[in-house]
Amino acid sequence: MNREMNSNLVTRHFVSGRFIVRYFPVFLLTLFSVFSLFTEQAQAQRTDSGVWLGAKRVESTLMEVAVPDFRVIGKDTERLGEMSSRLINFDLQFTGMFKVNRNFDFMRKADLRDRKLGRVNYKEWRTLASNFLIKGEITELPDDRLSVEIVAHDLQTKKEFFAKRLTGGKSVVRRMIHRFSDAFVRRLTGEKGVADTRIGLVSRVRGRKELFLVDYDGANPQQITDDRSLVLFPHMHPELNKALFTTYRYRNPDLYVLDLDTNTRKPISRKIGLNSTGEWSRDGSKIVFSLSIRGNSEIYTCNADGSGLVRLTNSYAIETSPTFSPDGKFIAFTSDRPGAPQIYLMKSSGGGKRRLTYVGRYNDGPSWSPRGDYITYASLIDKGFDIALLEANNIEDKRRREVRQLTQGTGSNEAPSFSPNGRNVAFMSSRGGTKQIYIVNVDGGNLTRITNLPGGGYLPSWGPSR
């Protein structure tokens, strides 16, 4: 699938815009809204356990957008026109920056009137959305591929603001739409979106946990391993199409790296005992993981090829679940030296160890935001686990950190993983009966279940843009 994409997907910009100047106020407003959420929280409730509850989203600062069904030239047997507009809506809403119009019947009629008119009736669209109208057209090419042309109209200036043409096979039509969403958002805010990312996870196949990949919205689940034993703790490479994981295939929990393009694997660590919870540094040069040689789990680092093993912890306690800070200078990890697991910090050389979490009686599974502003982890606050966010700016500064809760007491919520732009978190939750994967914005908005896999969804790891 990936190869088909690379060879067939052609993108072309054919309109440019003076968008930054025009939308600078919107951009500022968006930034402001993110900050205002936190100030709002400061005034909001604090639970008995001393954790801030997530805040409501600020609706008034959202950009309004209308996306009618795409026009499909030819027979639309697969309802691609409808699928495309819903997908853009999903992508844009999930950024937390847009309010999408769902009056699809009205939009269909307005679109037909535009076609008769031979131009966009901006006045009419302004009654549906105040900022953007996004129209798309899908054409089947003679070689069976699809050409997708998408134009975003600025309803304020009544002009085309941004447009893209994408070409590719039918199997990548969702990716073409996701690519547009990312490009549009990037044009508007300068920030990289997550619409064209994938999430690694494990799911059961005939009872055995295997590595899977899904699109960030849960579409296209793909079984990657067929180890027929036990696969745990996938971690996606921050840039490359690779995954680290622990497999019991060779009768011991060993740490492997899998190249997802070639489907070839190489061992990183396979000592008798645990070789688990591996994560790359942001630049991909180092791997940090937990290893137990004769007994007790400790934190080690090594180079990306498994060479240069360095031991960083040495205690009677269990140390596990390490994660690098984005600059690679620090490692957050779990230690049960206080009697139950808590999140600790150390320099990536192993020095300066100190405890970070004092709220929650059992904290584990830290994931450091690529922006550096938070460490997220699973926290046993009330009955089940909830996803917590620990404020992590200037982590060398030893002040006590504020903790926010991303989820509140519905099922057990565990194994959080930050998206590559640090704006979202994927986690697993049992709230729907079985364990499945959910995604959420860091402000607590747009909580969405993305998988409904028969074998469940466990241990997500959010991968990079493709």
Q: Which of residues 315-374 bind other proteins (CB under 8 A)?
A: 318-321, 334, 336, 340-341, 362, 364-365
Distance between CA atoms of residues 378 and 144, nearest Å? 47
Q: Which stretch binds other proteins (CB under 8 A): 24-32, 156-164, 207-215, 302-310?
A: 207-215
Q: Is 89 in the site for other proteins (CB under 8 A)?
A: yes
Pick one of 456, 460, 463, 464: the residue that binds other proteins (CB under 8 A). 456
Q: Which stretch binds other proteins (CB under 8 A): 16-24, 67-75, 268-276, 351-359?
A: 268-276
Q: How far is the CB of 353 from other proteins (least distance, A)?
A: 17
Residue with smaller CB distance to other proteins, 17 or 234:
234
Structure tokens at 217: 């919205």
Q: How far is the CB of 158 from other proteins (least distance, A)?
A: 29
Query: Which residues in 210-239 contact other proteins (CB under 8 A)?
Result: 217-226, 228-230, 232-233
Count the site residues for other proteins by CB under 8 A: 89
Q: Is 252 in the site for other proteins (CB under 8 A)?
A: yes
Q: Is 3 in the site for other proteins (CB under 8 A)?
A: no
Q: Is 86 in the site for other proteins (CB under 8 A)?
A: yes
Pick one of 22, 158, 204, 466: the residue that binds other proteins (CB under 8 A). 204
Structure tokens at 74: 């030819």
Q: How far is the CB of 250 from other proteins (least distance, A)?
A: 6
Pick one of 119, 251, 354, 399: the residue that binds other proteins (CB under 8 A). 251
Residue with smaller CB distance to other proteins, 182 or 319:
319
Q: How far is the CB of 172 from other proteins (least distance, A)?
A: 13
Distance between CA atoms of residues 16 and 340, nearest Å? 56
Query: Which residues in 423-442 contact other proteins (CB under 8 A)?
Result: 431-434, 436, 438
Contact 120, 133 (CB under 8 A): yes
Q: How far is the CB of 410 from other proteins (least distance, A)?
A: 10
Q: Is 462 in the site for other proteins (CB under 8 A)?
A: no
Contact 153, 169 (CB under 8 A): no
Q: How far is the CB of 264 from other proteins (least distance, A)?
A: 4
Query: Which residues in 278-307 contact other proteins (CB under 8 A)?
Result: 290, 292, 294-297
Pick one of 52, 70, 94, 418: the residue that binds other proteins (CB under 8 A). 94
Q: Is 258 in the site for other proteins (CB under 8 A)?
A: yes
Pick one of 110, 195, 244, 378: the residue that binds other proteins (CB under 8 A). 378
Residue with smaller CB distance to other proteins, 124 or 259:
259
Query: Which residues in 124-183 contact other proteins (CB under 8 A)?
Result: none
Q: How far is the CB of 137 from other proteins (least distance, A)?
A: 18
Residue with smaller CB distance to other proteins, 309 or 447:
447
Q: How far is the CB of 450 from other proteins (least distance, A)?
A: 6
Structure tokens at 284: 């991909």
Q: What is the 3-state secondary structure (H, E, C) of the chain?
A: CHHHHHHHCEEEECCCCCHHHHHHHHHHHHHHHHHHHHHHHHHCCECCCCCEECCCCCHHHCEEEECCCCEEECCCCCCHHHHHHHHHHHHHHHCCCEEECCCHHHHHHHHHHHHHHCCCCHHHHHCCCCCEEEEEEEEECCCCCEEEEEEEEECCCCEEEEEEEEEECHHHHHHHHHHHHHHHHHHHHCCCCCCCEEEEEEEEECCEEEEEEEECCCCCCEECCCCCCCEEEEEECCCCCEEEEEECCCCCCEEEEEECCCCEEEEEECCCCCEEEEEECCCCCEEEEEEECCCCEEEEEEECCCCCCEECCCCCCCEEEEEECCCCCEEEEEECCCCCCEEEEEECCCCCCEECCCCCCCEEEEEECCCCCEEEEEEECCCCEEEEEEECCCCCCCCCCCEEECCCCCCCEEEEEECCCCCEEEEEECCCCCCEEEEEECCCCCCEECCCCCCCCEEEEEEEEC
Pick one of 23, 52, 90, 324: the residue that binds other proteins (CB under 8 A). 90
| Pairing label, strands 403-405, 52-53 | parallel
Q: How far is the CB of 438 from other proteins (least distance, A)?
A: 7
Q: How far is the CB of 142 from other proteins (least distance, A)?
A: 26
CA distances, 425 to each of 374, 393, 457 (Å): 11, 18, 15
Distance between CA atoms of residues 364 and 226, nearest Å? 28
Residue with smaller CB distance to other proteins, 116 or 383:
383
Q: Which stretch binds other proteins (CB under 8 A): 75-83, 155-163, 350-358, 394-402?
A: 75-83
Q: How far is the CB of 192 from other proteins (least distance, A)?
A: 21
